[in-house]
Structure 1
Amino acid sequence: MIHNGIRIKIADYNQLPSMVGQVFMVGQEEIAVFRLSNGIVRALKNKSPHPKGGKLADGLVSGEYIFCPIHDWIISLIDGKVQAPDRGSVQTYPIEVEGNNVYLIW
């Protein structure tokens, strides 16, 4: 999928719970958005790269990693890379926070 750098407002910052995934639909894509304990907001495709999938928004957040709720794979919320010994990656999306507005860069 080609992205054009379009800013799409997806949420109000103060309405994003800390350390809990929220799902937003952008086009036909489910995006999981997380506000981390340090206040940074991260976004990635809401699907584990494991062949059986898994909704990442339902996973456990630890630092800047999400644990796949089905297979316990550890995935970086920074770059989407699955941590060894497992392999794979998840599409990540840039986020901009401006005042109370959270924008996904599409």
Structure 2
Amino acid sequence: MTEWIEIGSIDAIPRRGSRCVNTPAGRIAVFRTQDDQIFAIENRCPHKQGPLSEGIVHGASVTCPLHNWVFDLATGQALGADEGKVRTYPIDVVEGRIFMAAELVMVAAE
């Protein structure tokens, strides 16, 4: 059974924005879409290691700030002609609070 740890409030992430969480797996970017969906993905673009948390969120995708690669936030898959994938992480939202699997969390959200 997975244990969940609270990493913050949905209100701490602006719509179409993100925050980062430090974990044993590295920095994870937690995104909020315009319609309040929450996604968590690896914070490094596989192309040039760009910080995806600094990218532009549109729909359920994020565009890397370095070279405009676009990633699906649900699957981590690069879209369009680009090939690659970033790791995604399970998130649960309960009454406006964001939870991540306990084994991933080392430090609370920034």
Tell me, yes or no, whether TM beats 0.5. yes
The count of corresponding residues between Structure 1 and Structure 2 is 102
SS at match of 2:17: coil
* Residue from 5, 9, 28 that aligns with 2:6: 9
Letter in 2 for 1:35: R
The answer on 1:103 being equivalent to 2:99 is: yes
Match in the other structure for 2:40: 43
CA offsets per residue over residues 58-84 of structure 1, 9 Å max, x none? 000110010010010010001000013
Q: Give 1:15-34 correspondences, 5 Å limit.
A: 15-34=12-31
- Displacement, 1:6? 3.6
* Unaligned 5+ runs, structure 2: 105-110
* Residue from 43, 58, 64 that aligns with 2:60: 64
* Residue from 70, 81, 87 that aligns with 2:83: 87
Q: TM-score, normalised to structure 2's length?
A: 0.85
* Residue from 65, 69, 87 that aligns with 1:73: 69
CA distance in 1, matches of 2:8, 2:45: 23
CA distance in 1, matches of 2:96, 2:23: 20
- Displacement, 1:28? 4.8
20-29 or 64-73: which moved more?
A: 20-29
Runs of 4+ in structure 1 deviating by more than 2 angstroms, as ranges, are none
* Unaligned 5+ runs, structure 1: none
